[in-house]
Amino acid sequence: MIYVVSFLVGILNGLFASGAGQFLVFYLIYILKTETHKARALSVSVLSISSIISIIGYKNYTNVNYLYLLIIFFIAIISSYLGTKIMKNLRAEIINLISGILIVSLTIIRFFLGG
């Protein structure tokens, strides 16, 4: 079943670019009863690898500012360290609550703004 769900998550990722991770996390936490920290860590790893496939679609895209890429690179290194530290110290239900609030608010904003 996990292979079918993962394949479906991949299709959603290919179609909509963002939000598919929440599908995977929901399945892991609430259906497979995987521990929250583990499920979210797994989702980050899996979707970041599959994002490499998505970025290949931009191979001919030249309108990129390399200064911004450099800034993102350094910010990502610092903030991912910080993010994993914060997550480690938060209780599972608090992480899920924050995630739920973010999902609902972002979805409502997307409905109004489109995209």
Q: Which of residues 39-78 bind another protein (CB under 8 A)?
A: 39-55, 57-58, 61, 63-64, 68-69, 71-73, 75-78
Is residue 98 a contact point for another protein (CB under 8 A)? Answer: yes
64 backbone φψ class: left, alpha, beta (φ>0; ψ -120 to 50) = beta
- Among 1, 31, 33, 82, which residue interacts with another protein (rule: CB under 8 A)? 82
User: Cα dist. 86→19, 22, 37, 101 in Å?
Assistant: 22, 19, 11, 18
For the bound state, the minimum distance from the C-beta of residue 27 to another protein, rounded and expressed in Å, comes to 10
The amino acid present at 45, given as its one-letter code, is S
Residue from 33, 60, 111, 112 binding another protein (CB under 8 A) = 111
